[in-house]
A = this chain, B = another copy of it.
Amino acid sequence: MSSPPENDSPEALFASLTNSVRRLVDVTIRSQASLDTIASAKATIDAAADELGQDLIPGSFGVQEDQDGRPLAWGNAVIGLRNALAPPLVVHHESDGRVWADVTLGAAYEGPPGHVHGGICALLLDHILGATAHKPGRPAVTGTLTVRYELGTRLGPVQLQAHIDRVEGVKTYAVGHVSTSDGITVRAQGVFIHPG
């Protein structure tokens, strides 16, 4: 675990901003406000986006380095501190190679009513299985991913787990699953490759 950011650090400020945007994504889906209130909130949101949008990184965030040369994937769709689409996943690496994350998935991750979208399970499994193969500064890319859905995954607290089955040359074979209080809901296996 890295040490928590200081409260007034850029990291803490961006995390706080992005958490506010995550809450906004959620209430945009669930609001029962009047149409006048919706129109007023839209104008407020546009004003905030105008403020933030005056000076933009061209294209996308990519992977930037902090002052100590550590890579920051703050824009990443699954783990990005500054990406409101990302839950974000906080990935834990155990000394035995096991990788896991606990996450709570709300209304924004819905597919079938009350349940996580099957594709969101695939998204998170791709990331957590890939994390078993990840080496600092040497990310692995997905070769193949096979996902088997055994039960619906209810919205709410979800655990993701993965471990390496075997390594053959540049290929890491990983397996993992999604589980909830209902038990294991989705299983996956994947091949992850370190580009030459």
| 9-residue interface stretch from A31-39, A161-169, A172-180 | A31-39
Q: Number of residues in A with C-beta < 8 Å to the partner?
A: 85
Does A40 interact with chain B (Cβ within 8 Å)? yes
Contact digits for A89-132, partner B, Cβ 8 Å, 1 yes 0 no = 00000000000000000111111111001111011111100100
- Whether, in the assembled complex, A157 has its beta carbon less than 8 Å from a beta carbon of chain B, the answer is no
Q: Which residues of B contact A74 (CB under 8 A)?
A: 29
Taking the full assembly, how many copies of this chain does it contain?
A: 2
Indicate if the CB atoms of A141 and B123 lie closer than 8 Å: no
Give bound CA distance, A37 to B10, whole Å. 12
Q: Do residues B30 and A14 form an inter-chain contact, with CB atoms below 8 A?
A: no
The contact string, 1 if C-beta is below 8 Å from chain B, for chain A 134-147, is 00000101111111
The answer to whether the Cβ of A20 comes within 8 Å of any Cβ in the partner chain is yes
Return A189 CB to nearest CB of chain B, in Å: 10
